[in-house]
Structure 1
Amino acid sequence: MKEKLLEITDLHAGVEGKEILKGVSLSVNKGEVHVILGPNGSGKSTLMNVIMGHPGYRVAKGGIFFEGRDISGLKPFERARLGIFLSFQAPEEIPGVTVENMLRMAREAVTGKHERIFAFRRELKETMKTLQMDPSYSERYLNVGFSGGEKKRNEILQLLMLRPKLALLDETDSGLDVDAVQIVSGGVSRFHNEDNACLIITHNTRILEKLKADRVHVLLDGTIAEEGGPELIEAINREGYAQLR
Structure 2
Amino acid sequence: NALVLGFAVNVMALLVGWHYVKQGYGILMVDAAKKRQYFRESEKRIFRVNGYVVWFLAWLVGNRAFSQQEMLNLNYYTFETPMIVLVLVGAIAVATGTMTVISLLRCWRSNGGALPYNGVFAYVASLYFWFLFMRWGIDPVWLMIVPTLHSLQYLLIVWRYQIGYEKDRAGANESLLSFMSAKFAGKAYQLNLAIFVLLGVILGAMGFWAIPILLQNVVPYDTETFGPSMFMFIIFIFINVHHFFMDNVMWRRDNPDVRKYLFN
TM-score range, shorter chain: under 0.3
TM-score by length of 2: 0.25
More helix by share: 2
Larger relative contact order (Cα-Cα within 8 Å, sequence gap ≥ 6): 1
More strand by share: 1
Which protein has the larger Cα radius of gyration, Structure 1 or Structure 2?
Answer: 2
